[in-house]
Structure 1
C-alpha cells in the first residue's frame, strides 16, 4: 500500500502582466491580453484558449517559451485588434479531438468544428453541431427543445469513443457514439426523461438523476464525471451510462438530494461553490471550484459514494481559504474565478477568468510507500 504525494508549481502565464497586482484586459484586444477566458486546451504541439470576453479563440503553436507570449492565430475576428460578437458569442470549451478543433460557441447555441488546426487568422469552421447552418444562432434551432438542439452548450468531452455535450440551458447531457454529424439524434440523453423537455432538476428537485447547470465533463473508460455547477456538485457514473439513469457518485454534497452553498466561510476539502470545470490528469481528478477561487485535486479517483474529501488544493493556502486571489494581490499562485481546466501529461492548464489569464501548472505525482 502507498499514498500519492503531489508537488505543484506555476509554469507559464498567458495573458497580460499584473503591474500593481491587477490583471486588466487591454482597452483594445491584442495578441497578448485576454479578457475573461473560460476555456483552455494544451497538448505537445499547441495551446488553445477561448478568450471569451473578446469573443475569439487564440492559438499558440508550440509551447510558449516565455510568459505573456503573443498568440500566433486568432479565430472569430478579422485580426488581433477586432472585437465584439461575430462568429463567436462567448466561446467556452475548446479541444482538439483526433486532429480536429472543436469550440463550444455557447451563446450561439452550437459547437463549431475545424477539420484541421487553423493556420490563418479568422479561418472559418468546416462544420457545425446544433444549428442547420453557420448563419443560424437561436436557442434550440429556433424552436422548442428537441434532441438535436442546444441551449448554452458550455462544455463537451470525447471520452472512450463517446462524444458528450453539456447542454447547460436544457439541463441535460447529450451523448453520441463517435463524433456526430449535425442532426444525428443522440444515443444518450442524461438528466431528462426524453429529448423534448428541459426542466430544472427534472422539475422534481435535486436528485440522483437531475441537473441544474451541467457545465463540463471528463472521464475514462470506467467513470463519466459531470460538473453540475448549479447544484454545487460533481456527479459520477460508474460505468459510463448508455441510458438515462441515476448517478453513482456525488462530490461536493453530503448526499444526492442536497445543493447546499454557503459563501465566505471555511469551505474545507469536501464542498464546492459553482464547480464549472473538471479534468482528469491520469489517475488524478481536478475540479475547478470556481466561486471559491481554487482547484481541488483528488489523488485517488472517486467512483462511487458521496462527499469524498479532496487531497490537495491549488489557489489557496489551505482548504479553508476561498477568497479571490486569497483576498490579497494577484500572484503567480493565486486564482480568481477559474473556469475551464485541461490536463495533459504533467501540465494542468487553468483558465483563470477573473484574472484575465491562463496559468499552466506543473504537477508532480510520486507514490510513497506507507
Structure 2
C-alpha cells in the first residue's frame, strides 16, 4: 500500500448502550446485548458475532442503519434469552467461507460447520471437526495429543486455498490443502516437530519456530501471519509454509527469542501485549493488541525482519496509551480488551470484549 495517511472513526455499535461513565453496557442475553464477544465476521450481506460470554452466535442480516440493532438469528441457544454452555462453550473465531459458516467452539475443542448460513434460530450444525461426532467434547478427542484432535482451537483462517486452525492449547498451527473433513490428517503441523507433542515453545524456550498461545491467523498468497498471543508477538511466514519451519517476521518483539511484556507503561508503536486478533485486507494489516486496549494498523505491510512500527492506532489517543477505555469511561472510540477483528472493504469490525460490544470502524485513506 505504501506510505498513506489513514483516518479511522467508529461508525456502528452493536450491543447494548453504555449508560455512562465507567458502567459497562448490559450483558444479559436478549436480541441486542452482548457479553464479552470474542469473534466477529462481516461481509456485504451479514454480520456474525461470537457472543462468547453468553455461549451463542448472533447473526444480523444486512447492514444496520442504527446502533444497538436487534439480531435476526441466534445459534447455540433455544431463544434469545437463554444462556450458559449448551451447543457452544466459549465460541471464539467465526467466518463464512465459500457460503459455509465456521465457528471455533473453543472449550468444546472442535469447529462446527453449517453448509449454508442459518436463517432460523437454534439450527444445528451439519459437520464437526476435531471430534468423532457432535456428542464428544473432550480435548484431543478424549486422549493424548494427536494430529487430528484439538485443544482450545480459538482461531482459524482460509488463506490461498489452505485451511488453518490455531490449535492453541496444543501450541501449534494445523493446515490442510483445502477444507478438511473430520479425521483427515493435516498436511502441515507448524510449531511442533510432529503431531504427538504439544510442549510450550517446544519445551526449549521462545524461539523463531515456537508458539506459546497461537490464537488467530490471517494471510494472503505471500505471507501467513500468526498472532502468538502468549509470547506477545505476531509471527509471519513468507512464503506461507508447507512444512514446519522458522518464521521470517516478528512483530511486537525486538527479536525472535524475546517475549518481553511490561504493563502500564508507554508501549509505543512496536510493542504488543497478548495480541489475540489479526486481520488482513490488501496491503493493510490489523492486530488486536488486546492487553494494551488498542488495535494497531500497519499500512506498510511487513513480511520479514523484526520490530516494525505500526502506522496508526485505534482505541488510544496515541501510541503511548494503553489503559482500558483510556482509564476514563466507555466512549464511542475507546476499547477494553479487543479480541477478534475482521476487515471488509473499508470497514474494520472489532469485538470489544471488555465493553460487551462490537464496534465497526470506517477507514479512509489519503
TM-score in same-fold range (> 0.5): yes
Q: TM-score range by the shorter chain?
A: over 0.9
Question: Counterpart in 2 of 1:222?
Answer: 222
TM-score scaled by length of structure 1: 0.98
| CA drift at 1:65 | 1.4
Question: Counterpart in 2 of 1:208?
Answer: 208
Task: Kindly indicate whether residue 271 of structure 2 is the aligned counterpart of residue 256 of structure 1.
Answer: no
Do the aligned partners of 1:285 and 1:297 also contact (CA within 8 Å) in 2? yes
Do the aligned partners of 1:111 and 1:128 also contact (CA within 8 Å) in 2? yes
Do the aligned partners of 1:201 and 1:212 also contact (CA within 8 Å) in 2? yes
| CA drift at 1:41 | 0.2
| Aligned pairs (5 A) from 1:84-99 | 84-99=84-99
Determine the C-alpha separation between the residues in 1 that align with 2:254 and 2:75: 43
| CA drift at 1:3 | 2.1
Instruction: State how many pairs are aligned.
Output: 365
Determine the C-alpha separation between the residues in 1 that align with 2:40 and 2:70: 16
Determine the C-alpha separation between the residues in 2 that align with 1:139 and 1:276: 21
| Aligned pairs (5 A) from 1:1-370 | 3-21=3-21, 22-26=23-27, 28-366=28-366
Determine the C-alpha separation between the residues in 2 that align with 1:355 and 1:111: 26
Do the aligned partners of 1:100 and 1:114 also contact (CA within 8 Å) in 2? yes
Do the aligned partners of 1:282 and 1:345 also contact (CA within 8 Å) in 2? no
Q: Deviations over 1:117-169 (max 9, x none)?
A: 00111000000000000000000000000000000000000000000000000
Going from structure 1 to structure 2, the CA distance change for 1:109 and 1:9 (only over 3 Å counts) comes to same
Determine the C-alpha separation between the residues in 2 that align with 1:24 and 1:136: 35
TM-score scaled by length of structure 2: 0.99
Do the aligned partners of 1:155 and 1:216 also contact (CA within 8 Å) in 2? yes
Unaligned runs of 5+ in 2: none
Unaligned runs of 5+ in 1: none
Determine the C-alpha separation between the residues in 1 that align with 2:26 and 2:130: 31
Do the aligned partners of 2:17 and 2:26 also contact (CA within 8 Å) in 1? no
| CA drift at 1:172 | 0.1
| CA drift at 1:20 | 1.8
Q: Deviations over 1:276-297 (max 9, x none)?
A: 0000122110000000000000
**Structure 1: which 4+ aligned runs deviate by more than 2 Å?**
21-26
Do the aligned partners of 2:2 and 2:299 also contact (CA within 8 Å) in 1? no
Determine the C-alpha separation between the residues in 1 that align with 2:300 and 2:157: 21
Determine the C-alpha separation between the residues in 2 that align with 1:283 and 1:239: 16
Determine the C-alpha separation between the residues in 1 that align with 2:364 and 2:143: 49
| CA drift at 1:2 | 6.2
Please give the root-mean-square deviation of Cα atoms over the aligned residues, in Å: 0.9
Determine the C-alpha separation between the residues in 2 that align with 1:364 and 1:173: 34
Structure 2 residue matching 1:3: 3-state secondary structure: coil
Structure 1 residue matching 2:3: 3-state secondary structure: strand
